[in-house]
Amino acid sequence: MNNLANIFREKKLKLTPQRIAVYKFLQSTNEHPSAETIYKALQTEYPTMSLATVYKALKTLVEVNLVQELNVGEGNFRYDGNTSPHPHIQCLNCSKVDDVHGVCFSDLNDKVKDFTDYEVLANQIYFYGICKSCKNSIKEN
């Protein structure tokens, strides 16, 4: 929390209850929620917070690099409180997004250097598939 206050001060951003709520919620979940999901999850505790406010808070948090924005395709944005680079996988059936653990693609930045005159700074890896629970339910039907 102290950390958050410091970062916000550094960026000359006001530490609003909405921003704190959105940030804390993202820290508490591994589910890579959409803005709508965050909005619904916070509704009981913050009944006056609108979806537009959630979007604005997310935009600010992404700008100061406290939150990672994932574009998993078709303008479908998901949010991740873990800003370190890590690969993601999305279920093509239920759209859930998970982290892929234990494998790192940061060496790809080096490999790609041979094929571009860009200075390579980052990469974003997405895999797509069918999650375990969807696979099981397809089998049952």
**Residues tagged in the binding site annotation for Zn(2+):** 91, 94, 131, 134
Cα 66 to Cα 74: distance, rounded to the nearest angstrom: 24
In this complex, which beta carbon is closest to Zn ion, that of residue 103 or of residue 118? 103
From 25, 18, 17, 5, select the one nearest 52 (Cα to Cα). 18
Footprint on residues 78-137 left by Zn ion (CB under 5 A) = 80, 91, 93-94, 99, 131, 134
Q: Is 138 in the site for Zn ion (CB under 5 A)?
A: no
In this complex, which beta carbon is closest to Zn ion, that of residue 52 or of residue 94? 94
Contact between 4 and 23 (Cβ < 8 Å): yes
Cα 67 to Cα 80: distance, rounded to the nearest angstrom: 6
**Residue 38: other Cβ atoms inside 10 A:** 22
In this complex, which beta carbon is closest to Zn ion, that of residue 15 or of residue 134? 134
Least separation in angstroms between CB 20 and Zn ion: 21
Interface with Zn ion (CB under 5 A): 80, 91, 93-94, 99, 131, 134
